[in-house]
Structure 1
């Protein structure tokens, strides 16, 4: 009996190795990991720029002259792109946060649902950002 067990062919187990820096360009991350990394980046971006945004809010509330001055600055194209980046950060962080809340409630934890929810987060946040961009750049 022990001979039969010994002679049975062993299954090849997959070998998992750490990724080397030179192999990073060949590695394709899943969509859920991209959304997670973007969630962290957008959260850091909002946190890091919060003092600056609060300062601008304070300055805009001082008087009509400072409001008009900041309104003139905000009409510049580069400033509009910075505002658009902040809007994307907020939209993405909010949508990904709602996704994480649903996952905390044990909804959508399987692989297919997680992939669909990650794609939905990207689609919704980019669509909302595009709508704000159209309004910001005066299309409608």
Structure 2
């Protein structure tokens, strides 16, 4: 039987900035973070929807607010987690049915997710600007 190393004698790396995560882990962590951001933005989005549906004047006022560059930047910033969560979710669904499960294919699909995120956010930014 192999001798186990005591926990206190194992090497430790507590500096999170020096740990190099594989791209699969980065995409997975970003998927969780983007889900959290989208969940936390639900009250603001519901308020905007409720305001826009309350009256014609409120709809026009909200439309005027979103013509300013600050709300447009906020929408672009919110589109990044949306697109990432969407594409990474599709990737995870594909992996659930055993599609792209080898290491090289999983790395490729992670890169594809990141490229699609960036392209979709840029197209969205161009569209609303």
Find out whether 1:74 has 2:63 as its counterpart. no
Structure 1 match to 2:107? 115
Output the CA distance in 2 between the equivalents of 1:33 and 1:78. 32
Q: CA deviation at 1:18?
A: 3.4
1:46-85 correspondence runs (5 A) = 46-85=38-77
Q: CA deviation at 1:86?
A: 1.6
> How many residues end up aligned between the 2 structures?
120
Output the CA distance in 2 between the equivalents of 1:25 and 1:95. 26
Structure 2 match to 1:133? 125
Q: CA deviation at 1:26?
A: 2.5
Query: Which protein has the larger Cα radius of gyration, Structure 1 or Structure 2?
Result: 1
Output the CA distance in 2 between the equivalents of 1:19 and 1:103. 31
Structure 1: gaps (5+ residues)? 1-15
1:2-17 correspondence runs (5 A) = 17=11
Output the CA distance in 2 between the equivalents of 1:103 and 1:75. 40
Which 4+ stretches in 1 moved above 3 angstroms?
A: none
Q: CA deviation at 1:117?
A: 0.3
SS in 2 for 1:33: helix
Note the aligned Cα RMSD (angstroms).
Answer: 1.3
TM-score, structure 1 normalization: 0.80
TM-score, structure 2 normalization: 0.87
SS in 1 for 2:17: helix
